[in-house]
């Protein structure tokens, strides 16, 4: 079965996020002072072939740990859904 995964990888809450901080500070300059606390991470979509949803989740977890996320600085969450095949 084919599953579609959507992964969010964000800087850990305890860490500074200089890119997000810079963007926060610039919101005023584009006329949007109402916006703050910007934090910037990665959004990754992928497909995974697996026998069932549990196996698919295990593979996506491995991909995050081995290749996609830096566990020292980032945390990840993801959702998977089966791809409908007509």
Sites of contact with its own copies (CB under 8 A): 6, 8-10, 20, 23-24, 26-27, 30-32, 34-50, 59-60, 62-63, 66-68
Q: Are 68 and 4 in contact (CB under 8 A)?
A: no
Rounded to the nearest whole angstrom, what is the least distance from the CB of residue 76 to its own copies in the complex? 10
Helix, coil or strand: residue 7: strand
Nearer to its own copies, 49 or 81 (CB): 49
Question: Do 78 and 3 meet the contact criterion of CB atoms below 8 Å apart?
Answer: no
User: Residue 15 or residue 42: which is nearer to its own copies going by CB?
Assistant: 42
Question: DSSP state, 9?
Answer: E
Bridge partners, 10 (sequence order): 75
CB of 28 vs its own copies, minimal distance in Å: 11
């Amino acid at each position: 079965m084919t599953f579609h995964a959507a992964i969010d990888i964000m800087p850990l809450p305890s860490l500074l996020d200089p890119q997000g901080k810079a963007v926060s500070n610039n919101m005023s300059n584009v006329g949007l002072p109402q916006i703050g606390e910007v934090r910037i991470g990665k959004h990754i979509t992928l497909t995974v072939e697996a026998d069932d949803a549990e196996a698919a989740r295990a593979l996506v977890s491995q991909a995050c740990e081995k290749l996609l996320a830096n566990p020292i600085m980032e945390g990840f969450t993801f959702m998977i859904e089966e791809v409908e095949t007509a």
